[in-house]
């Protein structure tokens, strides 16, 4: 496993040898594999890369953490940016190391105090980034504990600390957000479908009501026509009946007139006899 990497132009250099490991400034071993990293602190690893007849040396720092509640090299006491990720392009690099961490206590001719904590701090003047340009670095992930407060000491015209969820939490939060979004989309769609169904039902009911009204109007018209017809029919019937009765009466009267004498004689003869 190579923690160190080297290249010559575009060529990757694989002949890498760890030449020195120091722990808190004390040389502890000759070989990187023998380092016991169970002791928390800063392990500076110097390695040599060899390519044909050329050699180059570089150092990197391994930060061994005792707890997950702290930021690795949070106070820059490794003397460099070990544990930190530089997020800004064109950051100054000197001998393979990102610049910016210094041990000075004061600045300018007036010797104004930095008031830094510990021996080292990150100084924006030394990052290689121009004064008006913004820059960003990101710490290692950490787990909040205790009071939950994060204390940061910094000084600048406009400096800010952003806390971001770690990859796993971020993935979980994103999954939760995606799930919520897809549930919302499904709910929205269901609501839209329900609304469309209700609208359809309403229109069907409206249409049905309109059809019913048209039918009833027509039926009523027919009833009125029938009524009028029946009325006419009844009138005619009554007239017919009246006419019949009239003619029957006339006939009766005529019969009576014609047969009166005969009927009287008949009645008289019956009574007398
Ligand atoms: Ca410090």
State pLDDT tens for residues 138-189. 998 888 888 888 888 888 767 888 887 777 777 877 888 999 999 999 999 9
Q: How confident is the model at residue 68 (pLDDT cuts 50, 70, 90)?
A: confident
Query: Residues 44, 82: contact at Cβ < 8 Å?
Result: no
Question: Alpha-carbon distance 52 to 72, whole Å?
Answer: 37
How far does residue 12's CA lie from ligand 1's centre (Å)?
A: 35
Torsion (CA) 192, 196, 201, 202 in degrees, nearest 10: 100
Q: How far is CA 193 from the centre of its chain?
A: 20
Measured distance between the N- and C-terminal CA atoms of the chain, rounded to whole angstroms: 159
Average of per-residue pLDDT across 53-79: 87
**Residues flanking ion ligand 1, Cβ below 5 Å:** 75-76, 117-118, 120-121
Average of per-residue pLDDT across 31-54: 80
State pLDDT tens for residues 95-121. 778 999 999 999 989 999 998 899 999
The candidate with the shortest Cα–Cα distance to 82, out of 12, 165, 3, 6, is: 3
Average of per-residue pLDDT across 74-87: 92
How far does residue 59's CA lie from ligand 1's centre (Å)?
A: 20
How far does residue 3's CA lie from ligand 1's centre (Å)?
A: 25
Predicted TM-score (pTM) of this structure: 0.54
How far does residue 79's CA lie from ligand 1's centre (Å)?
A: 9
pLDDT value at position 267? Answer: 66
pLDDT value at position 151? Answer: 85
Above 50 in pLDDT, residue 2?
A: no
Above 70 in pLDDT, residue 31?
A: no
Mean of per-residue pLDDT scores for the chain: 84
Above 60 in pLDDT, residue 56?
A: yes
State pLDDT tens for residues 232-272. 877 788 788 778 877 877 877 777 777 777 777 766 666 66
DSSP string over the chain: --SS-EEETTEEE--EEEEEEEETTEEEES-GGG--TTS-EEEEEEEEEEETTEEEEEEEEEEEPS-TTS-TTTT-TTSS-TT-EE-STT--EETTEE--EE--SEETTTTEE---SSS-EE-GGGSSS-TTS---EE-------TT---------SS--------HHHHHHHHHHHHHHHHHHHHHHHHHHHHHHHHHHHHHHHHHHHHHHHHHHHHHHHHHHHHHHHHHHHHHHHHHHHHHHHHHHHHHHHHHHHHHHHHHHHHHHHHHH-
Question: What are the residue ranges spanned by the domains of the chain?
Answer: 1-64, 67-164
Query: Residues 156, 124: contact at Cβ < 8 Å?
Result: yes
pLDDT value at position 190? Answer: 95
Report the percent of the chain where pLDDT is more than 90.
25
Residue 154 neighbours by CB distance under 10 Å = 11
How far does residue 70's CA lie from ligand 1's centre (Å)?
A: 14
How far does residue 165's CA lie from ligand 1's centre (Å)?
A: 24
How far does residue 102's CA lie from ligand 1's centre (Å)?
A: 9
Q: Among the ranges 29-33, 60-64, 258-262, which has the highest mean pLDDT value?
A: 60-64
How far does residue 77's CA lie from ligand 1's centre (Å)?
A: 5
Average of per-residue pLDDT across 62-91: 89
Query: Residues 135, 124: contact at Cβ < 8 Å?
Result: yes
Which range, of 1-5, 14-18, 74-78, averages the lowest pLDDT? 1-5
Query: Residues 254, 246: contact at Cβ < 8 Å?
Result: no
pLDDT value at position 127? Answer: 92
How far does residue 151's CA lie from ligand 1's centre (Å)?
A: 13
Question: Alpha-carbon distance 19 to 29, whole Å?
Answer: 9
How far does residue 23's CA lie from ligand 1's centre (Å)?
A: 18
How far does residue 75's CA lie from ligand 1's centre (Å)?
A: 4
The candidate with the shortest Cα–Cα distance to 100, out of 73, 62, 63, is: 73
How far does residue 138's CA lie from ligand 1's centre (Å)?
A: 16
Does the CA dihedral 198-203-209-211 come out positive or negative?
negative
How far does residue 87's CA lie from ligand 1's centre (Å)?
A: 20
Query: Residues 43, 81: contact at Cβ < 8 Å?
Result: no
How far does residue 84's CA lie from ligand 1's centre (Å)?
A: 14
């Amino acid at each position: 496993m190579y923690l160190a990497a080297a290249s010559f132009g575009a060529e990757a250099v694989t002949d890498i040898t760890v030449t020195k490991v120091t722990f808190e400034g004390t040389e502890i071993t000759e070989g990187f594999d023998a380092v016991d990293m169970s002791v928390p602190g800063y392990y500076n690893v110097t390695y040599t890369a060899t390519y044909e007849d050329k050699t180059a040396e570089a150092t990197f720092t391994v930060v061994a953490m005792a707890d997950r509640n702290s930021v690795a090299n949070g106070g820059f006491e490794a003397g460099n940016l070990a544990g930190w990720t530089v997020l800004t392009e064109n950051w100054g690099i000197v001998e393979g190391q990102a610049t910016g961490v210094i041990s000075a206590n004061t600045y300018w001719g007036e010797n104004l105090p930095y008031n830094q904590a510990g021996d080292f701090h990150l100084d924006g003047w030394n990052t290689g980034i121009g004064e008006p340009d913004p820059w960003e670095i990101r710490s290692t992930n950490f787990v909040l504990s205790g009071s939950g407060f994060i204390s940061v000491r910094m000084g600048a015209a406009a400096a800010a600390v952003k806390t971001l969820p770690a990859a796993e939490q971020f993935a979980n939060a994103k999954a939760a957000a995606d799930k919520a979004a897809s549930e919302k989309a499904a709910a929205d769609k269901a609501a839209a479908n329900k609304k469309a169904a209700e609208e359809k039902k309403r229109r069907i009911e409206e249409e049905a009501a309109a059809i019913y009204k048209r039918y009833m109007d027509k039926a009523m018209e027919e009833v009125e026509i029938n009524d009028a017809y029946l009325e006419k029919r009844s009138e005619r019937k009554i007239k017919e009946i009246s006419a019949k009765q009239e003619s029957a009466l006339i006939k009766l009267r005529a019969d009576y007139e014609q047969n009166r004498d005969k009927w009287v004689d008949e009645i008289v003869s019956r009574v007398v006899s």
